[in-house]
Amino acid sequence: MGRISSTVSRWTLAGGALVVAAAFSVAPIASASVSSAKSCTSPSGYKVSGPQAKLICAGINFYKGKTITFVAPDKPGGGFDQDARIYAPYLAKYLGATINVENIPAGNTVAGMNYVASTNTSNPGMTVGWMNVGPIVEDKLLGITGVTFNAASEVMLGGTAPDQSATAAIVSSACSAWDNGFGALLKANSASNPVTELIQTTGSTTFNMLMIDGVFGIHYRAIAGYASSADLVTGWNRGDGCVITDPVSVISKFIAAGKAKALLINVPLQQTNTYYSNFVGVPTYVQAEKQFKSYIANKTQKAAAPVLNLAGNTERVFFVPPKTPKAQQAALAAAFKWASYNPNLEHQFEGIGQSTGYVTGYTAKKDYVAYLTSARRVTEYLAAIGG
């Protein structure tokens, strides 16, 4: 087995965006048989065989000893950053490469995604990253020019299980109408008694929040313009508004402290999830649609329900630009799949409240196309984005 090492993070500025980098590497194994043959052994000792083996082996041979940049499109400690830093040592181990994790957080994940896509004309395949589908769909639907690439043309190598997000109300006298569960919120809500919601300028959780409003006909007043999840939560905690949608790992801390009440979660939490106990009995999107179907009254609301479900099940996509050579694509995809099923990685994911799981690149792209196509029918529900 190889030796994994990591360097101290280094802080730099690249193109006006904050970049934080950390390197993970594995010492190449002299005895590893990595070639363009029909089978080989990866530097991690994993036997590569099957119909894609020739391409995978050629890709491993290419990457061995090289340095790959893994872009996390958020700040250090954010969800994409945590996932990148968890995956990096496993990818390094499989490929025999060094993986530098760099943070490019501007534009609510958009700057980082744009950066990865821009490497299509300069050493494609040496820079990889996470694709955050929510802002891409929003930009397309609303004509926002932030995303500079066509997501459908990028090479989606695989995806994680859906991000775990929760909708919750802060516990306070000003928000007492909303902190007794989702059913109580629906019952108390009216045009003259709207829910005060905090939303970011863009992003997956913003999309989910607005789709929840649309599906269930929730009357709300949006407090918009928060540039990041951290800003959103800070505003929520100081009383800017009552309800937000944000990662389970963030919301859970408030629930455990008795400062918030969970209303919804996007998908069921696995019982091994470290935050599972804080969400027992909280309905998922699908469960809420069944339980409170009387609130889903008109055609647009009914059309929005499957969009909300697709959004709630969206994977975090591992991708490279389209000019990445086929052998490198195959090796990266194989490394990502191998890492995703590694028990140690799964345990690390459970520890940060993230579901474990894996989908193929084909499935990730199919889900993106379905998400975008369905969302076109309910664009009106996104009007609050951008304030």
Domains in the chain, start-ordered, CATH in brackets? Answer: 4-162+314-375 (3.40.190.150), 165-312 (3.40.190.10)
159, 361 Cβ separation under 8 angstroms: yes
Please give the DSSP secondary-structure letter assigned to residue 376.
Answer: G
Q: Which pLDDT tens digits describe the chain residue by residue (387 residues)?
A: 333 333 333 333 333 344 445 555 544 333 334 444 678 888 878 888 888 999 999 999 999 999 999 999 988 888 889 999 999 999 999 999 999 999 998 877 889 999 999 999 999 999 999 998 888 888 787 777 788 899 999 999 999 988 889 999 999 999 999 999 999 999 999 999 999 999 987 778 888 999 999 999 999 999 988 877 888 999 999 999 999 999 888 899 999 999 999 999 998 988 888 899 999 999 999 999 999 999 999 999 999 999 999 888 888 999 999 999 999 999 999 999 999 999 999 999 888 878 888 999 999 999 889 888 888 888 888 777 654
Strands (E), the chain: 4-6, 10-14, 17-26, 40-41, 47-48, 67-72, 98-103, 127-131, 155-160, 165-170, 195-200, 220-226, 243-247, 260-265, 317-320, 358-360
Could you tell me which residues are beta bridge partners of residue 20?
11
Q: Starting at the earlier edge strand, list the strands of the sheet with 195-200.
A: 220-226, 195-200, 243-247, 165-170, 260-265
- Which are the contacts of 342, defined by CB distance < 8 A and separation ≥ 6? 90
Gap between the Cα atoms of 89 and 25, Å rounded: 7
- Scored b (16 or more CB within 10 A) or e, 266-277 reads bbbbbeebbbbe
